Structure 1
Amino acid sequence: MKITLVTISMAVFLTGIHADVQPQKNFDLKKFAGKWYRVGLAYDSPSFARYRKKLTVCMGLVEPTETGDVIMTVWKTKSSTCQKEVFRYEKTTSPGMFTYFSTRHNKVKDITVVETNYTEYALIFKYKKFNKEYSQVSLYGRTQKLRPELLEKFKRYARQQGFSEESIITPALADSCPTGGH
């Protein structure tokens, strides 16, 4: 019996701890489209620690395609310049769950919109597996500043996902990036 439980536990671990992360019920991509700011981030990668103090709020534009995929354009300030990146998030069979291929890591990553009210905030869970499993929780807002209750909701959710207080940050406000619109 003990061996069976260990085997089942290992199978669950190896197939992904993120399996219990569910998308927003009745997720509506059209309502989710538009401009979002990443105002909170929880990340468990050891190499991320050196970038924590340099991180600023970044802006993203969610544009649904006719096929249900998403073009995600992100602008972030890096070394005093505004940098633009474009990602294609592919829909899955579950509305609110997407995958994309990270050219930086040469791996497919999962993205789940866990909770949103569409007009103010969204909690996003990102998962990838390299030589070990990594996950991120992000808080997005329609503005760069959110109500304290929403920041606390984000921190509470991140802690529930196993993130330590040290790995949960709310980046500094960003300068106007992109400048003059997008």
Structure 2
Amino acid sequence: MALGLLLLGLTLLGTLNIQAQGSVPSMMQVPPLNKFPLQPDFQEQQFQGKWFAIGLAQNIFRSKCLSQPAMHMATFVLKNDHTFNATYTRVSDKGCDHRSDPMVPSGQPGQFILGNTTRSENYTMRVLATDYTQSAILLYVFRLKDRVYFENMLYGRTLKLSPEMEMQYIEVAKSLGFSDDHIIITAPTAEGH
């Protein structure tokens, strides 16, 4: 119920007028982070664990060959200093790709920044909505040189969420200005990853 209300709130944010830029690749403008509400009373202990990427919306144009990207998962392990060690694993027909990043609290519960100072990009992760047991919607914003990229992710504790949850996510992503070319629902791999 609470997640449904948060999804409704995110849908109402669709009044934001996110305009597509004329650059190649096609990119959408990124509204200020404070336009995306954080999960009320974020519970870091409950959020930690394994999450499977179910939905993905990005502000860069996706070609048809990328319409079904490799399945991936994120594992968030909470450390004593309230930092998450975030490990991302992508599974494709070419094998597995792993990346680990320290995500440091940024002063607002549910918002984290990349703690690895050896990277040049400015990277923020926001937990927009979660029920902790089934699904979570996150926003990732990263700046690289003169471009700003953002991803709106739907995660599930299992490889498949209900069709209703997937449709709610698609509606939220569209309300934020994403077109069909920018939104995908991932399919589980044959290996079940």
Normalising to structure 2: TM-score of the pair?
A: 0.75
Segment drifting more, 101-110 vs 158-167: 101-110
Aligned residue in 1 for 2:156: 141
Contact map agreement 2:42 2:110 (CA 8 A) in 1? yes
Aligned residue in 1 for 2:4: none
1:34-113 map, 5 Å: 34-46=49-61, 48-49=62-63, 52-100=66-114, 106-113=120-127
Q: 1:159 aligns with which of 159, 163, 174?
A: 174
Structure 1's 36 and 117: CA in aligned 2 closer, same or farther, altered over 3 A?
A: same
Aligned residue in 1 for 2:24: none
Contact map agreement 2:71 2:92 (CA 8 A) in 1? no
Aligned residue in 1 for 2:187: 172
Contact map agreement 2:53 2:155 (CA 8 A) in 1? yes
Structure 1's 104 and 142: CA in aligned 2 closer, same or farther, altered over 3 A?
A: farther
Aligned residue in 1 for 2:37: 22
Percent identity of equivalent pairs = 23
SS of equivalent to 1:166: helix
Segment drifting more, 146-155 vs 95-104: 95-104
Distance 1:37 1:98 in 2: 19
Give the partner amino acid of 1:173.
Answer: P
Normalising to structure 1: TM-score of the pair?
A: 0.80
Q: If you compute each CA radius of gyration, which structure gives the higher value, 1 or 2?
A: 1
Q: Which runs of 5+ in 1 are unaligned?
A: 1-13
Contact map agreement 2:30 2:148 (CA 8 A) in 1? no
Distance 2:68 2:110 in 1: 30
Structure 1's 67 and 56: CA in aligned 2 closer, same or farther, altered over 3 A?
A: same
Contact map agreement 1:127 1:134 (CA 8 A) in 2? yes
